[in-house]
Amino acid sequence: MSSNKKNNSNSYELPTGRFWFTFIALSLMGLGVMWRIVAIQTIEHDHWADRGAEFEHSIRTIVPARGQIQARDGSLLATSVPVYDLRWDSKSEAINWDYFKEKRDSICDGFAAILGGTPDKYSSIIDKAIARGSRSAKFASKVPFTDYKELKNLPFVIEGRNKSGFVFERKEVRRKPFGQLAGRTIGIDRESQRVGIELSWNQELGGTEGKQMQKRINGGAWLPVTDDYIVQPEEGLDVITTIDMHLQDVASSALKTQLIRHDAEWGVVVLMEVKTGYVRAITNLKRFENSEGVANYYESYNHALGKSIEPGSTFKLASLMTCLESGKISITDSIDTGNGEAFFHDRRMRDSNWKKGGHGKITLRECFEMSSNIGSALAVKQCFDLEPQKFLDGLKRIGVTQPLGINLVGEGIPQVYSTVGEGDWSGISLTQMAIGYEVTQTPLQTLALYGAIANGGRMMRPTFVTETLSKGEVVERFGPVVVNDKICSEKTLRSCRLMLEGVCLPDGEGTAAGIFKNRPYTVAGKTGTSRIAENGGYATGRYRSSFTGYFPADDPEFVCIVVIADTRSGNYYGSTIAAPVFRDLADLIYATDPSFHEVLNEPLLAEEKRHLPTSKNGAKEVLLELYDLLEIPFNDFSGDEDWVRVVTGSDTVKLTARTIGRHTIPDVRGMGLRDALYLLENAGLEVMYNGTGTVRKQSVPPGTPFKRYNKIRIELS
């Protein structure tokens, strides 16, 4: 048995020598593998990254140039300005290094002259790029187009991307030449959250994406292999809006002045053509305070489009129109408003003159003109107290219960009861709705109703875009859109127009009687003052003031709404807060619109003295294309300059050179706003301007070094 045990024990002995040899060998192999991993990720990282980049190519999507947004006269409201990043691939296979060494100093001198800085700065970047074997050394960011053209013509760089290694990567920067004017309606072009026209017309503005073969460089960035495209990107369409920048400027200025005067929270002005629904001006200003408590007003939200509010007395037009349509009352019927104070289901209602004893017995027309709350409530109660559903049905037929379908994202939904008893309906709902409470509408929806009265009963959709263009050619037109072909009968329409005109008669007793005295035009409209809802009730001392109307009253061309919210000056009535803004805008339109004035039947100057079409100073390439297209004779003495002065004679046009300095303020006098903004903004200047037409003055003299200024003001006439 002992021998068996011995044999058994020997059978479990391990070959220790072979085991340790295998273990050590495998351990050394593992350490070798780990060392190579560490070396590749650290010491040899750049080498292998470059080798990988040489073989990693991909077809990449190319975003096209975004289309422009223009005012009705072609003024730029939003445009994309090209800028360029300049990089260098120090390992480009086609670089002639002997030629590079010969031109190196010239390259650095050229970069310093165009981009700023010293030649040594760019020489240092070159040295570091060569030492690291960089394939994407950055020399400059956001280079403007004028500098880009100069850089491309520098020695060695002119050889192109393959032979020089210098690559220009184009980007687009969105600019609003008119700044805040109509800013929220024009919108913002940002990938995460576009708004306004930029959002609603994004597909048209965005164009068609292209395809290009690109290679990956260090850092994960991609650069084109060549300048050619697999699929050529198609730039976006230009969107032509209805906005008139002359009227827009006045509307914004008049509103801002009134907001500041009464320390209001926000305000809206919208001006619309009666017959077409084309919006000629829209401004939305909100109060903001800086860290020192100083208030200013900016466009931050499109209140006119998206803010549904209780309209107050301006809704009385819809209420009394429904009464008139019922046939149970006329504007000559009398209503006893008593002493200016009444109770409906224990809810007290007052007229504005209740402290003076009220209006007493007055006609329905006078109720509207003097904005009697009690008179309007009694009229609705008289017509619909037994059948309140018919009142709601009447409002629906008018067209005030549904959105207008405006082609901008974000239209607010009007809140109007559709059936008796729904929601918060109560015993006082009928009389509260009669005076513009327990209902909400956006300012644009209220404007459309008043526009329909001015337009013979036809309600038009407020429209912001008339057409899209591709390289100046019309792609698609968008005509006026009718929302409701007939909001009421002819008899009711005549009564409503009489009531609206009575509100504004200079010698009448309407709430806007004194506003339009001594004006050469007539106005029809309605003032409104409403309390501001807060936490299920109404805030103490907080009001919204409004005025909505059209002019001239006898032959309406424009309809306008003004809303000013939450004044802190102690004044809050629509007649003193909102109506003056309407008047300022109407004054300007009457003074500048030829359709309001008699045209003398005299020969035109062009018929008496022949003269070629004149042009502003500007970009030569565009002017030459235009002269060729129109077959206008010209003499070009500008040489290789891109910018020219224009002298137009009776038989020919003379073009002379206009040199634009590299690092000095350019002379933009005589240019149009588009060319002036292009030059000044590409030079890195913040531009402020006023007026329209041709630049006549600039605040910083031409030739002044850029470094001394970062802002400039220009005046146009």
What's the pLDDT tens digit per position in 175-225?
888 877 788 788 776 666 777 888 888 888 888 777 877 766 555 566 676
Read off the CATH number of the domain in which 90 is found: 3.90.1310.10
Report the percent of the chain where pLDDT is more than 70: 90
**pLDDT in the model for residue 178:** 80
CB contact set of 594 (below 8 Å; sequence gap of 6+): none
Q: Which of 174, 206, 241 is the last residue of a domain?
A: 241
Does residue 253 share a domain with residue 236?
no
Question: Does residue 651 sit within a domain?
Answer: yes
pLDDT digits (tens, 9 = 90+) for 108-166: 999 999 998 999 999 999 999 999 888 888 999 988 888 888 999 999 999 988 889 89
Residue 366 sits at the vertex; the CA angle it makes with 455 and 318, to the nearest 5 degrees, is 40
Does residue 300 share a domain with residue 414?
yes
Count of other CB atoms within 10 angstroms of residue 635: 12
Cis amide prior to 552 (ω within 30 degrees)? yes
Question: Does residue 34 sit within a domain?
Answer: no
602 pLDDT higher than 70: no
The beta strand positions in 667-706, using DSSP E, are: 686-690, 695-698
Q: Among 479-483, 487-491, 605-609, 611-615, which stretch is predicted with the lowest mean pLDDT?
A: 605-609
Question: Which strand (E) or helix (H) includes residue 527?
Answer: strand 524-534
Question: Does residue 24 sit within a domain?
Answer: no
Question: Does residue 301 sit within a domain?
Answer: yes
Does residue 443 share a domain with residue 424?
yes
CB contact set of 492 (below 8 Å; sequence gap of 6+): 321, 324, 325
Q: Which of 543, 571, 596 is the last residue of a domain?
A: 596
Does residue 497 share a domain with residue 371?
yes
541: left (phi over 0), alpha (psi -120 to 50) or beta: left
Does residue 679 share a domain with residue 539?
no
Question: Does residue 455 sit within a domain?
Answer: yes
Mean pLDDT score of the chain, rounded to an integer? 86
Does residue 262 share a domain with residue 202?
no
Amino acid sitting at position 546? S
**pLDDT in the model for residue 5:** 44
Does residue 640 share a domain with residue 586?
no
The domain tally of the chain equals 3
Residue 645: domain span? 611-716
| d(C-alpha 715, C-alpha 709), whole Å | 18
Does residue 105 share a domain with residue 220?
yes
Q: Which of 220, 241, 262 is the last residue of a domain?
A: 241
pLDDT digits (tens, 9 = 90+) for 619-647: 888 788 888 878 888 888 888 788 888 88
| d(C-alpha 197, C-alpha 521), whole Å | 34
Question: Does residue 604 sit within a domain?
Answer: no
Q: Are strands 618-619 and 643-648 parallel, antiparallel or unpaired?
A: antiparallel
**pLDDT in the model for residue 4:** 47
Pick the most confident of 458-472, 591-605, 636-650: 458-472
- For residues 77 and 182, is the Cβ–Cβ distance under 8 A? yes
pTM: 0.74
Does residue 183 share a domain with residue 161?
yes
Read off the CATH number of the domain in which 327 is found: 3.40.710.10
* Residue 108, φ and ψ in degrees, nearest 5: -65, -40
Does residue 252 share a domain with residue 236?
no
**pLDDT in the model for residue 703:** 80
Does residue 400 share a domain with residue 368?
yes
pLDDT digits (tens, 9 = 90+) for 528-568: 989 988 877 888 888 999 999 999 999 999 999 999 999 88
Does residue 491 share a domain with residue 344?
yes
Report the percent of the chain where pLDDT is more than 90: 47
Question: Does residue 35 sit within a domain?
Answer: no
Question: Does residue 523 sit within a domain?
Answer: yes
Q: Among 473-482, 563-572, 673-682, which stretch is predicted with the lowest mean pLDDT?
A: 673-682
| d(C-alpha 717, C-alpha 714), whole Å | 10
